[in-house]
Structure 1
Amino acid sequence: MLPTIDPAVAPAVAPGTDAARGFGRAGYALAALSVASFSIGVGEFGIMGLLPGVAQDLGVDIPKAGLLVTGYALGVVFGGPFLAALTSRMERRRLLLWMIAIFVIGNTACALAPDYGLLMAARVFTALAHATFFGIGAVLAADIAPPGRQTQAISLMFVGMTLANVMGVPLGTFIGQAFGWRATFWAVTGLTLIAAAALYAFVPRSYPLAGISFRQEVRALTRGEVLLAMLLSVLSSIAFFSVFTYIAPMLEGVTGMAPQSIPYVLLVFGVGLTIGNVAGGRLADWKMMPSIVALFAALVLVMAVLYPAMPHMMAMVPVMFLWGIVVFGLVAPIQMRIVSKAVGARNLASTFNQSAFNLGNAIGAWFGGAMITIGFDYRELPLGACLVAALALAVAAYSMLRDRRAAAGA
């Protein structure tokens, strides 16, 4: 087991430990966090492939079943701040295990839910722990990493979430089609229990810094650099989900793909997500803000290219691969930006960032739907996302300029 992180020491593990010489035994803790991330990701997104079965079994239409996705996202948005306030002084490994317990109870309730209303309630209950788990997990990942590799550590934790999209969701769909949608939730429950055991065995104890009140933490969130970083998280999520929410009808109606071909394209996209997640961590550990600015510039370009590429299958697949790399290349750097700038409120800020990302999720889905409602075509959704990404690029460039001015005045 890794050494206990004393509350009196600096956030990073002291030089001379296994973690400081390379990830070493810290790799087991990161692997445990990644396994938990994978199980949570399957629990969150797996229902997307189960909607027809859920709708038929519970006697609702598919759009109403789709609200189970929205309900989860809103549970994340509101659950993060609420639980962050209640648990701000709790030892971090214990807190992660409590959050995992909520996932186990929630997914069990989903598997047993006899009707739509109780299934929705179980989904929202499960989601309450999401932001706190990923927020605290990201801080812990950075804490156990050696100097200069903190963002890579965060990206390794989020690898589980990307793999949930690449492998977990198709596997969950297969289980649900073969044994019924409830079987997928039972499988997620079992996997989450395995993750809990790994977290208990390999994640070190870690304490919030002593002497900082919750009021001081909230005040730290109002710093300009922190608010700008959270705005980047919201905007990147809006740009992503305003298009990705409608990816299936886009691929069918504009690109002309057969429905059975779409999972293979999404697999290519998922591979891009995984590569981008790891690459983004490495880039940010090298030069954080220049990397964030460059990635947003690349996102603007990819969204612009997606518009002419969409009607052509041979062009659409590689562009989607590049889209996956760029969009998830931003996740770990933005998370680390918030953790590094929210001095004295790292737990709270990291958790709030998860709520910010899911707020962008909900706004993005609404924004894309609103474009379609007022008469835009599916093909034109990337143009709206391009404008949002351009706004994010401007915010990122402004943040970098603030950093340089502060450094020059120091």
Structure 2
Amino acid sequence: MSSATQTSTAGPLTSRKLALAILSLAMGGVGIGVTEFTMMGLLKEVEQGLGISTPEAGHLISAYALGVVVGAPLLAAVGARLPRKQLALGLLLFFTVANLTSFVAPDYGTMLVSRFAAGLPHGAFFGVAAVIAASLVPPTRRGWAISMVMAGLSISNVVGVPFATWLGQTYGWRLLFVLVGFIGLLTLAMVWRFVPFQAAHPDASIRRELGALKRLQVWLAILIGVVGFGGFFATYTYIAHTMTMVAGIPSSLIPLVVALYGLGMVAGNFVGGRLADKSVMGTLYKVLPAIAVALVVYAVAVHWPWSALVMVFVVGASGSMLIPSLQTRLLDASPDAPSLASSLNHAALNVANALGAFLGGLVIALGWGYVAPALVGAVLAVLGFGVAVLSGVLERRKPLAA
């Protein structure tokens, strides 16, 4: 994307207008992060409220993730002919209504459907938001702009998720969805007010967007996200058990652990955006091995409380450094279908979530202990690095289209 889009559609943006536009898009990430991650901390209350088992409550989280995987390519392709701002507003409205539906869902079956529906606009919104943000700045600042939009998701883990968890535990778990609905309405108003209008590409179509799926480099970028980021989720999914049962940290301090993880994600997201502006593939080559090393050190350091807390921050930072470069890589690999390509990153990350949680649970079930998921994560990061190297080698033989 180039700054020409900005000039032709909305006129040059001042620093203040640019900041407000990106902040508006980032607010969507805050709402998405709150609804996605708070459910994990309120599972016990959900079980009691709906009268269901723990595995059934876990299916509500899986339903949301499945919605992301299905909705990301589908809604991005269907919305290809819409102006980007209108598409973003439509997806935010969809997201807000779906979460308010969860608030009034009377039984487990209805809740399962509403959580699936709430996940549908997740990836498509992040995809179009990243494309809008990248189009508002010169090409040399795309990584920064994308990282600022993604920062909403990281910041939600520091502020929004702990607050929503407290709110749900204290006053009722369904209030989570009221809070998310409020954030959704606020974001709608901000995007409508501050994000400049951008006309759809004159050649945009569902077929054009789906053409991104014919490119090997798009699939390799998705695979890097699925495999390389799977280690991040293999560790994060079982972090509460690891901190209490291995590090000996009281369960009352788990909110602090989650906040440290979130702070690491915020820091890593900022640094990753800057690195992606310098070299997308160079960032992937550096960050994936760094994730592997961080997870191995974490597996050792987690036996002592203070070193465990330090490494929680480091693991959160190293993992989130990967996101801006992956997002930018997908845009580079499919410049004529940016919305779909960009949204696929979030579908990939949700598949990584499922893969990491499954493999981490598998090694725990085999009796290898709560440290084992981090080592599994290190192996996944190394495999992701291998995919990145393969992608780079193929690009040298056949450069990406301009």
If the length of structure 1 is used for normalisation, what is the TM-score? Answer: 0.92
Deviations 1:156-186 (A, max 9, x none): 0111110111111110011112221112211
Q: Post-superposition shift, 1:15?
A: 12
Q: 1:158 to 1:235 in 2, by over 3 A?
A: same
Q: Which position in structure 1 is the counterpart of 2:344?
A: 352
Q: Does 1:285 align with 2:268?
A: no
Alignment partners' CA distance in 2, 1:13 and 1:339: 20
Counterpart residue type for residue 220 of structure 1: A
Gaps of 5+ in 1: none
Q: Which position in structure 1 is the counterpart of 2:28?
A: 36
- Kept in 2, the 8 Å contact 1:238–1:364? The answer is yes
Q: Does 1:318 align with 2:349?
A: no
Q: Which position in structure 1 is the counterpart of 2:141?
A: 149
Query: SS where residue 378 of structure 1 aligns?
Result: coil
Deviations 1:190-248 (A, max 9, x none): 12101100000011222332225433432333222222111111113311111211111
- Kept in 1, the 8 Å contact 2:3–2:137? The answer is no
- Kept in 2, the 8 Å contact 1:18–1:26? The answer is no
Alignment partners' CA distance in 1, 2:209 and 2:4: 17
Q: Does 1:88 align with 2:80?
A: yes
Q: Does 1:232 align with 2:224?
A: yes
Alignment partners' CA distance in 1, 2:217 and 2:74: 23
Q: Does 1:259 align with 2:254?
A: no
Q: 1:24 to 1:402 in 2, by over 3 A?
A: farther
Q: Which position in structure 1 is the counterpart of 2:371?
A: 379
Alignment map for 1:214-229 (pairs within 5 Å): 214-229=206-221
Deviations 1:221-278 (A, max 9, x none): 3222222111111113311111211111111111111101121122111111000001
Query: SS where residue 80 of structure 2 aligns?
Result: coil
1:194 to 180, 186, 192: 186
Q: Does 1:304 align with 2:296?
A: yes
2:321 to 329, 332, 336: 329
Q: 1:124 to 1:380 in 2, by over 3 A?
A: same
Q: Post-superposition shift, 1:56?
A: 0.9
Q: Which position in structure 2 is the counterpart of 1:183?
A: 175
- Kept in 1, the 8 Å contact 2:3–2:138? The answer is no
Q: Which position in structure 1 is the counterpart of 2:52?
A: 60
Deviations 1:267-309 (A, max 9, x none): 1111110000011000110122111210111011111112211
- Kept in 1, the 8 Å contact 2:232–2:315? The answer is no
Q: Post-superposition shift, 1:373?
A: 2.3
Q: 1:255 to 1:26 in 2, by over 3 A?
A: same
- Tell me how many residue pairs correspond in the alignment: 401
Q: 1:53 to 1:212 in 2, by over 3 A?
A: closer
Alignment map for 1:91-130 (pairs within 5 Å): 91-130=83-122
- Kept in 2, the 8 Å contact 1:42–1:172? The answer is yes
- Kept in 1, the 8 Å contact 2:6–2:12? The answer is no
Q: Post-superposition shift, 1:31?
A: 0.5
Query: SS where residue 140 of structure 2 aligns?
Result: coil
Query: Which moves more between the two structures, 211-220 or 186-195?
Result: 211-220
Alignment partners' CA distance in 1, 2:267 and 2:3: 34
Q: 1:251 to 1:381 in 2, by over 3 A?
A: same
Counterpart residue type for residue 246 of structure 1: Y
Counterpart residue type for residue 152 of structure 2: G
- Kept in 2, the 8 Å contact 1:237–1:358? The answer is no
Deviations 1:335-392 (A, max 9, x none): 0111122121111111222212111111221111122223321111111111110011
Deviations 1:121-166 (A, max 9, x none): 1111111111111111111110112331111101101111101111
